[in-house]
Chain A
Amino acid sequence: MKWRLGDVAELVPETPKVSSLILEVPGWLGHRAGQHVDVRLTAEDGYQAQRSYSIASAPEDRRLGLTVERLDDGEVSPYLVGELQVGDKLELRGPIGGFFVWEAGAGPPVLLIGGGSGVVPLMSMIRHRQATRSRTPMRLLYSSRAIEDVIYREELARLAAGGDGLEVQHTLTRSQPAGWTGFSRRIDRQLLTAVTWPRSESPAVFICGPTSFVEVANQLLVEDGYDPRWIKTERFGATGG
């Protein structure tokens, strides 16, 4: 798999710490919803640092979109969110991964559970569903610390209002704005029960987020009788680094 140079065509601020990078990548052969890319930065002295970032765009989109959270002690993300400019080049390879992937079709209902920037590959699935006019019922449970940390907030609200079978539920674990009607705590059994599909539907489940978040959600679902084979997970570490 070779490294390619993408052109940064657009930068979209999503939250104070998160931006989407919209890239034109010559020779890009497309991707499946849920896959990621490796991004490599090379310093003037030749030192290289490499990280993986989920693809946020739909396979049907003309340009490749990544969404990156800036971690202040990170090696790569502070450059991608803060220094990178439109017109710059970015070295990447992919698409990578074939496990954490959803394809629109005649499959079972889908449950997406995202914590923080773990929503990014799930957004690719949501956008893929939208782009293909799929009517597969899909629910997203999205956990953020506070309302200002919610990535894709307006797009998710607009898509969920479309009434075509996409439902979005938020939980805000640290602070909630006045009049908040969503959930206000970390994921627990009762909260999951409010969003899960009945076991009889054999749903497809995708969970992505910090390792502990994913492990808790996965375990609760299995304890509730979900078949582990229905559940695909992607754990990106302690803080999402």
Chain B
Amino acid sequence: MQQSELKVDGNAIGGLLREIFALEMTVAQSTCAGCGKVDALAAADVYMNAPGVVVRCPGCNSVLMRIVKAGGRYWLDLKGVRTLELRE
């Protein structure tokens, strides 16, 4: 992988997610609140050219997550994720 600024996938935010969560998040199974599709976060569509990171469902394109890191804080919007299943 060598990411550019346009559409990438959830693999590209593995490091960012590890700053926030204790577990490896790219293998976490997320359920889209929009269409119910269950997929690894690694397979989600990710846009990194916004002021933050936008994660979208590869099935229905709804926003799963938004993550902004600024001024020593993280701001997470997880409204589009119905559930997250993490592996220990």
Check if B4 sits within 8 Å of A238, measured CB to CB: yes
Task: Provide the bound-state CA to CA distance between A15 and B70, in Å.
Answer: 38
Residues of A close to B9: CB separation below 8 A: 211, 233-235
Residues of B close to A97: CB separation below 8 A: 11, 14, 24, 26, 42
Residues of B close to A93: CB separation below 8 A: 15
Residues of B close to A237: CB separation below 8 A: 3-8
Which of A69, A94, A98 is in CB contact (< 8 Å) with B2? Answer: A69
Closest CB in chain B relative to A56 CB, distance in Å: 11
Check if A100 sits within 8 Å of B4, measured CB to CB: no
Check if B6 sits within 8 Å of A234, measured CB to CB: no
Contact residues of B between 1 and 50, Cβ < 8 Å to A: 1-12, 14-15, 18-19, 24, 26-27, 40-43
Q: What's the dominant secondary structure at chain B's contact region?
A: mixed
Closest CB in chain B relative to A62 CB, distance in Å: 23
How many A residues touch the partner, as a band? Answer: 35 or more
Residues of A close to B4: CB separation below 8 A: 71, 236-241
B positions within 8 Å CB-CB of A: 1-12, 14-15, 18-19, 24, 26-27, 40-43, 87
Question: Do A52 and B24 form a contact, CB below 8 Å, given A99-B40, A211-B6?
Answer: no
Residues of B close to A208: CB separation below 8 A: 1
- Chain A, 31-64, contact with B by CB distance < 8 Å: what is the 0/1 string? 0000010100000000000111110000000000
Closest CB in chain B relative to A231 CB, distance in Å: 9
Which of B5, B7, B8, B19 is in CB contact (< 8 Å) with A1? Answer: B19
Residues of B close to A68: CB separation below 8 A: 2
Check A144 for interface membership: any CB of B closer than 8 A: no
Check A96 for interface membership: any CB of B closer than 8 A: yes
Task: Provide the bound-state CA to CA distance between A71 and B18, in Å.
Answer: 27
- Chain A, 1-17, contact with B by CB distance < 8 Å: what is the 0/1 string? 10000000000000000
